[in-house]
Chains A and B, each alone.
Chain A
Amino acid sequence: MNDKKIEQLKEQYKEIPIPLELNRVVYQALEKRNSRKALYRWGVGVAAAIIIFTTSINVSPAFAKKLTDVPVVGDIVEVLTFKKIAVDEGNYQADLDVPKVEMDNEALEEGLNSKYLEESKALYEKFMSDMQAQKAIGEDGHLRVDSGFEIKTETDHILSIGRYVEETQGSSMTTLHYDTIDKQKQLLVTLPSLFKDDTYIEAISANIKAQMRQQMEVDTSKTYWLEPSEPDGFKSISKDQEFYINADNQLVISFDEFEVAPGYMGVVEFVIPTDVVADVVVSDEYLK
């Protein structure tokens, strides 16, 4: 065989057309690397799960903006995204943002952060086991969990962080949790701590019932479970009902989806006029 023939063969080989997608395929293959490796780091044995870690901590854009708007020296409490956990497996999707607070009071910081992390871990583990269970019985399941947080209120004095969890499995279910921090005193504000005694429970509950009735009268599309005869009817808030303090220094009571109303009403909240609790409030420090 002479060189000419080899050259001819070589020419033909070099003429194998290169598809346009080659570039994209190569870059995608190189990128996929990152998510795959992150999985091994998390140490979860589910190969198809993709977990993205944020190794650098991101300041939430809303908070970053507020920081520049209101420069406060000292007594700073920051809320950051500590971790992002994502699972993307067809019909099974999880997207969890784990918040992290930073403040001078280290004990409180540690307490809140470990609570946030534990909650997210529990959500993740529940999601994975639900997914495995559905897959094991060969069910064509749909499962979606989203969790994250938002700054409800940020003033010089207080910071209210709301954490939400939305679980979708056929229908969806949203739950909310709030933490309100006194930035100056570096303290966690609890609902009972705002009041002299337990009478706030009755005062607030009565106000909420009045608001519910009023809303249903004005807007017939609204429904609250209010009848005392019904087993699910709203009777009273709990001692540690979810709440936050809004920018107008008013107490806002929050109920999860289905807690006091049908699902279509979603998560509901009531702003409690401060005069309703004026008699029992400890001071006008938070509620005005």
Chain B
Amino acid sequence: MLRKKPRQEEMIAEYVIQNKERFYRLAYSYVQNPDDALDIVQDSIHKAITSKTLKDEKAIKSWFYRIVVNTSLDFLRRKKKVTVVDDSTIQLHMSGHEDHYTDIDLHQSLNELVPEYRSVVILRYFEDLKLEEVAEILDLNVNTVKTRLYKALKILRVQMDSEEAN
């Protein structure tokens, strides 16, 4: 009774099923709880299959990551847990925090990064994506990704170094 799915839809479904854990972890890293992360996975899948924005099937990886990242950021915005701000405000905000978290564990230190910095670290180092792919997913130019990565690492290093010192 159900219509046969078009080929592209089949492909998306297959890709999503294969990589669902990755998308869940990515969503979780933003929202920090399982229920919301599951909601984001669900919403992302709906967006993916209804939006029909996948032009080049080879780009499915960055396309889907992008949907998950955007859905997560939208969610955070709606929840008003986090205000999304521009880079200079982020730096201003972050500089005030560097001294405070002296005995924080590794994971928490990652969570201390604002979502914009967290995204680049997760995508580049944890999901092993290329700088160009990260740039595409986050709709940034490569230089901005490099800058954010550098600053994010600097913040992490300060936190982790002070942790080691304890």
A residues whose Cβ falls under 8 Å from a Cβ of B: 1, 5-6, 8-10, 12-14, 16-19, 21-23, 25-30, 32-34, 36-38, 52, 54-56, 58
Contact = CB atoms under 8 A, between A and B. Distances in A.
Contacts of A10: 125-126
Contacts of B24: 16, 18-19, 22
A22 to B, nearest CB: 5
Interface of B: 1-3, 5, 9, 13, 16-17, 20-21, 24-25, 28-29, 34, 38, 41-42, 45-46, 49-50, 106-107, 110, 121-122, 125-126, 153, 156-157, 160
Contacts of A36: 46, 50
Nearest to A40: B50
Nearest to B44: A29
Given A1-B160, A16-B25, A34-B2, A25 B38 contact: yes
Quick one: which of A27, A29, A54, A55 has the most chain B CB within 10 A?
Answer: A29
A9 B125 contact: yes
B1 A26 contact: no
Given A10-B125, A12-B106, A16-B28, A56 B41 contact: no
A146 B60 CA distance: 43
A37 B51 CA distance: 11
B125 A29 contact: no
A27 B17 CA distance: 8
B125 A56 contact: no
B1 A13 contact: no
Contact of B156 (A1, A38, A56): A1
Contacts of A55: 3
A22 B50 contact: no
B153 to A, nearest CB: 5
Closest A-B pairs by Cβ, 7 of them = A29-B45, A1-B157, A29-B42, A13-B126, A12-B107, A16-B25, A33-B49
6 contacts: A16-B25, A18-B25, A19-B34, A19-B38, A27-B17, A34-B3
